[in-house]
Structure 1
Amino acid sequence: MAQKYRIYINDNTLFITHELPSQIDKIQQIEAEGFDFRSFYKNLKSSKQKHYLLLTKSPQAAFRKIKKDLTIVKAAGGLVNNAKGEFLFIFRNKKWDLPKGKVEKGEKMKVAAVREVEEECGVCIAQRNKRICKTYHVYEMGSELILKRTNWYHMTVKGSPKLVPQVEEGITEAVWVAPYEIKAKIKNTYPLIIDVLKNEKLL
């Protein structure tokens, strides 16, 4: 089975697949032959289109080629449940987000995910469960183009502990959100966070 990839670039999405995705309304197809990611990225700033499709017989090879040209950063995060069935959200950079952070050298993804959640929100994770999904996000850092690969895990805490946002990481709020309140939060979040929530059947 051919692989499918979804790369988030701010509010834009690049799909790399061997077939047309059914869930996207307006999508612009890009010529796969001679595709150059850096040129594509540069042109995004002047484009009004949100979703792009790179249709290719070998999505894996196309994705590998893109990765070669970018600096890879590994990150891990969590979707945390409390005993009341509420979910942990943080407010950072004027948007609602889920706790996550960079994986340290020699650290396992699943270990990093728990550490980052505990550091960013001041909670103690009782259990780390299955991996929900993997997301890819491209952004600029100086003259470099970074591809951040994040592994997301489902986690639980005991009871409904008080949350302590890690202010030095730019987190101004950490809150427990009931399932029915999630839709209000996603009006001001990132597309990749919506992807994580959909993978967990919360949307």
Structure 2
Amino acid sequence: MQRIFVNDKPIYLTTKVEKETDFKNFLLKDADIDLVLKTLAKKSVASVRLIGHNEDKLLKTFKKKLPNVIAGGGKVFNDDGDILFIYRNDKWDLPKGKTEKNETIEETAIREVAEETGVSGLKIVKPLPITYHIFKRNGKTKLKITYWYEMQSSFSGNLYPQLNEGITEVKWLGEKDWGKALSNSYANIKLLF
């Protein structure tokens, strides 16, 4: 079952039909995304389920319903085991951003982390789960598909938030501080922990 987040509420892509309780069911192939989002915005609705027939085609079918924005980002560890966080829009987040022309997704992830934080010497250790969330920009609803990577850096210099991207703070957080930061973060970021 795949999850696509709208703020912190999930849209589940599934083949199972269950009796509605605090969620609403829609048929994936016929689903009107605007209606799905309006339904999900209701306080009484915790999630929406888009039901399809073929498990292997659920995500592919959903991706066709919205313009896709491809992004790359990193969960970066330093030599002390601390993780690099950014603070933007009153939430703790991990650095990420959109791909540029002729760039691999790995190059995007490294470039975006460096641009948003000032950290250099980044090395990809392994891929992490891909996250999906819906956002609105200039009146248009889009699906952001973020490819995440665990990264390592021995960087020990000053951190520089990318102010023109709305980032106001960059911090290395130790394990005891992750929980606090994650309590004021996004649901799709929590999936990476």
State the TM-score, normalized to the length of structure 1: 0.85
Q: Does 1:94 align with 2:90?
A: yes
Q: Structure 1: give runs of 5+ residues left out of the alignment.
A: 21-25, 198-203
Give yes or no for the alignment of 1:15 onto 2:9: no
Q: Which moved more, 1:107-116 or 1:26-35?
A: 26-35
Q: Distance in 1 between matches of 2:155 and 2:118?
A: 14
Give runs of ≥4 in structure 1 deviating > 4 Å: none
Residue in structure 2 matching 1:58, options 33, 54, 71: 54
Q: What is the 5 A alignment of 1:149-168?
A: 149-168=145-164
**Deviation of the 1:38 alpha carbon:** 2.6
- Alpha-carbon displacement from aligned partner over 1:143-170 (angstroms, at most 9, x marks no partner): 3211010000011111533311111111
Q: Which of 171, 185, 189 is matched with 1:189 structurally?
A: 185
Give the RMSD, CA atoms, in angstroms: 2.0
Question: In terms of mean alpha carbon deviation, does 5-14 or 112-121 score higher?
Answer: 5-14
Amino-acid identity (%):
35
Structure 1 residue 55 displacement after superposition: 4.0
The residue number in structure 2 matching 1:28 is: 23
Taking the aligned partners of 1:133 and 1:112, their CA distance within structure 2 comes to 16
Question: Is 1:115 paired with 2:111?
Answer: yes
Whether the 8 Å CA contact 1:5–1:59 is kept in 2: the answer is: no
CA distance in 2, matches of 1:139, 1:29: 20
Q: CA deviation at 1:54?
A: 2.9
> 1:68 aligns to what?
64
Equivalent residue, structure 2, for 1:201: none
TM-score for both structures, normalised by structure 2: 0.89
Q: Does the aligned pair in 2 maintain the 1:70–1:144 contact within 8 Å?
A: no
Structure 2 spans left out of the alignment, 5+ residues: none
SS in 2 for 1:104: coil
| Count of equivalent residues | 189
